[in-house]
Amino acid sequence: MDHLFTSQEQDALSSVAPLAVRMRPQTLEELVGQLEVIGEGTWLRSAIEADTLSSIILFGPAGTGKTTLARIIARITKAHFTEVSAISGGVSDLRRVIDEANKRLTLQNLRTILFVDEIHRFSRSQQDALLHAVEDRILVLIGATTENPFFEVNSALISRSRVIEFKALTNADIEQIVLRALREERGLANAYRLSDAAIAAIVVLSGGDARMALTTLELAAEVARAPQDLTAEEQAELAAGDAAVDGGDKGDGPFVRSVPLVTPVITTLAVLEASPRRALPYDKKGDTHYDVISAFIKSMRGSDPDAAVYWLARMVEGGEDPKFIARRILIFASEDVGNADPQALLVAHAAFKATETIGYPECKLNLSQAAIYMALAPKSNSATNAIGKALKEVRNGPLRQVPNHLRDRHRPGAEEYEEYSYPHLDPSGWVDQQYLPDGLSHGAFFQPGERGWEAYRSEAVKRDRESSNRE
């Protein structure tokens, strides 16, 4: 059946399409990775092959096959397949699609599959417009998103769909995709030679994103050079790969024996020229954002400066708001270091002000210094625990009165209050008197940590009080 993904349209566009588009899998067998969700015997594969698919939301990083799977379904389903843009489509467009789907179903007994890429970009009203149509199966929804749908998609729509998570592609998956593109006629058709080191560089730079890997391969092919133009290092790189093939242990590897040795060569240098920066996934509002900041905080708490700086670098490279990072460090200084090292709060505050004043790129130095300081500082969560326990008592305990001797004296009748003992008049600087309200005792909230300044001062206070009591 003809639809927006007809083979005729694909053929017309293939001559000018990017490599990533030309190499898009056409069948389930060509799809690389995601065996847990689309492999033989899975619910999703069985539903697709039987053409009985119900509404699904595909969730996962970019370049893992979500849109590709939707296009494969479009090719093999007997249902009418249509697509609505999550960016430009409005509620009126959805209503039109639903009306057409309803007519198709009632007049022709023909199902409609609606594909919405980046469905999290739909407004709440747009998502709500789909609810009844999905619930009544007037249409089958395939939504794709790089954001966690449980945060970004209407919960009512999620309850009417099945959420399927796609994982980042493995290094082996990316290598398989690159080698296929190198060999197949719709790809580079064996017009280039590719060293093992270049493949490894593409895999690393892609960050598990197949689209990024193919784009890097295509750009690297544009700067590939003839064998005689290679540097000494590139010739050594090429020779190492040829030796492996000639030895027979990589006969199905990156080098194809039928390729003439005069063909252009894609080396690591060409790859780096084409894509100098690694495309590690980082979504500033999604799961990766929360996972990385969680790892950052836990690394500082675990006193691992290397890990703390690594996760900091992931956030910096991903374009995270530096003030967000600085705020987390500032919170950490009290939450996890506390009075084991009171200086930590000052360092964190200084880093925040520096970040606020300087901004990227220089403020990464301030953030690095603060993160390393927090990781190396002695740790105590006694301040965190103390305020937590005190708030619990205030919220759930009885109303406790301020002891009379602690009350403000600027009121009538204050002369009847018990006398307040002024600690500075005592040589020890401390007097034994009640400060907590009745019903609470010393140690109810604050339990000093065993490290750093807090432990030292707690022991000193204890010794001073014992000495004063003996006197």
Per-residue pLDDT tens over the stretch 455-466: 888 887 777 667
- Tell me the C-alpha to C-alpha distance, in Å, between residue 169 and each of 21, 73, 138, 291: 18, 20, 34, 18
Most confident of 186-200, 228-242, 274-288, 387-401: 387-401
35 and 164 in contact (C-beta within 8 Å)? no
Least confident of 81-85, 330-334, 339-343: 81-85
Cα-to-chain-centroid distance, residue 405: 55
Question: Given a cut of 70, is residue 55 above it in pLDDT?
Answer: yes
CB within 8 A of 108, min separation 6: which ones? none
> HSE of 432 in the Cβ direction (CA atoms, 13 Å)?
9
Q: How much is the pLDDT for 401?
A: 92
- Give the pLDDT confidence of 139-170 residue by residue, as tens digits: 999 999 888 888 788 888 888 899 999 988 88
Q: How much is the pLDDT for 331?
A: 95
- Give the pLDDT confidence of 358-375 residue by residue, as tens digits: 888 899 999 999 999 999
| pLDDT, greater one: 103 or 259 | 103
- Tell me the C-alpha to C-alpha distance, in Å, between residue 263 and each of 255, 260, 282, 395: 12, 6, 37, 77
Least confident of 3-12, 103-112, 461-470: 3-12
Question: Given a cut of 80, is residue 86 above it in pLDDT?
Answer: no
Least confident of 217-221, 235-239, 331-335: 235-239
Question: Given a cut of 70, is residue 194 above it in pLDDT?
Answer: yes
- The DSSP secondary structure of 93-150, one letter per residue, reads HHHHHHHHHHHHHHHH---EEEEEETGGGS-HHHHHHHHHHHHTTSSEEEEEESS-HH
Question: Given a cut of 70, is residue 468 above it in pLDDT?
Answer: no
Q: How much is the pLDDT for 381?
A: 95
Q: How much is the pLDDT for 2?
A: 46
pLDDT confidence band for 265 (50 / 70 / 90): confident
CB atoms within 10 A of CB 299: 21
Mean pLDDT of 331-336: 96
Task: List the Cα angle 187/190/191 in 5-degree steps.
Answer: 90
pLDDT confidence band for 122 (50 / 70 / 90): confident
Question: Given a cut of 80, is residue 130 above it in pLDDT?
Answer: yes
pLDDT confidence band for 114 (50 / 70 / 90): very high
Question: Given a cut of 70, is residue 411 above it in pLDDT?
Answer: yes
Mean per-residue pLDDT of the chain: 85
Rounded CA gap, 168 and 63, in Å? 8
Question: Given a cut of 70, is residue 219 above it in pLDDT?
Answer: yes
pLDDT confidence band for 257 (50 / 70 / 90): very low
Q: How much is the pLDDT for 258?
A: 47
Length of the chain counted residue by residue? 471
Q: How much is the pLDDT for 9?
A: 60
Q: What percent of the chain has pLDDT over 90?
A: 43
- Give the pLDDT confidence of 174-184 residue by residue, as tens digits: 999 999 999 99
Q: How much is the pLDDT for 308?
A: 95
Q: How much is the pLDDT for 244?
A: 36
Mean pLDDT of 119-125: 85
Q: How much is the pLDDT for 147?
A: 81
Question: Given a cut of 50, is residue 252 above it in pLDDT?
Answer: no
- Tell me the C-alpha to C-alpha distance, in Å, between residue 437 and each of 31, 217, 390, 400, 404: 69, 72, 12, 6, 10
Least confident of 20-29, 188-197, 278-287: 278-287
pLDDT confidence band for 255 (50 / 70 / 90): very low
Instruction: Work out the burial of residue 71: count CB atoms within 10 Å of its CB; fewer than 13 is exposed, 13-18 middle, 19 or more buried.
Output: middle
Helices (H) and strands (E) in the chain, counts: 21, 7
| pLDDT, greater one: 180 or 274 | 180
